[in-house]
Amino acid sequence: MLLEIVRDPIDLRAIERAVLAPGCGGIVSFCGSVRERADDGRAVEGLRYEAHEAMARASFREIADEVLATMPEVRLAIVHRIGALNVGEIAVVVAAAAPHRAEAFSAARFAIDALKERSPIWKQERYSDGERLWVENRCSGERQ
């Protein structure tokens, strides 16, 4: 399991190599990059992510444990970058390797959904008009 918060650019292929095992025929990866347009259509110049790093890593571990509890053959990576990112750069990678593709899809989907909901990470979008906005995930914060 590769579960990390990083500050340097993410090497997607290295992560996929880290989860690939000879017994795993399929890897599903989700790779989230900085989009050039916000949901409201405004041009995005860049992003800043910050995290409670210890809690975020603990949440990745919890997510991985939940995946393994139901799919023990899955090998999972969750890597999120923090700091300043430019348009097009990779912010997050979730990769799941499994002997069969159904588990790999299921694990990757669960992990990215869970990360968005429960990992203490925050995103500030910077627009071309100079404004900055902290953008919340849709489901976050509605649990308590």
* Interacting residues with a second copy (CB under 8 A): 12-13, 16, 20, 22-37, 87-88, 99, 101, 104-105, 108-109, 112
Under the binding rule (CB under 8 A), the answer on residue 142 touching another protein is yes
CA distance linking residue 24 with residue 43, whole number of Å: 40
Residue 100 has a CB neighbour count (10 Å cut-off) of 11
> What minimum distance in Å lies between the beta carbon of 101 and another protein?
8
Binding partner at 136 among a second copy, another protein, none, C-beta below 5 to 8 Å by kind = another protein
Residue 68 has a CB neighbour count (10 Å cut-off) of 15
Q: Which residue's CB is nearer to a second copy, number 46 or number 53? A: 46
What is the Cβ-side half-sphere exposure of residue 90, based on CA atoms within 13 angstroms?
18
Contact 16, 29 (CB under 8 A): yes
Contact 65, 107 (CB under 8 A): no
Q: Which residue's CB is nearer to another protein, number 72 or number 125? A: 125
Task: Provide φ and ψ at 90, rounded to 5°.
Answer: -80, 125
* Contacts of another protein in 3-62 (CB under 8 A): 32, 49-52, 54-56, 58
Q: Which residue's CB is nearer to a second copy, number 83 or number 99? A: 99
CA distance linking residue 55 with residue 5, whole number of Å: 10
> What minimum distance in Å lies between the beta carbon of 141 and another protein?
2
Q: Which residue's CB is nearer to a second copy, number 28 or number 56? A: 28
How many residues of this chain bind another protein (CB under 8 A)? Answer: 31
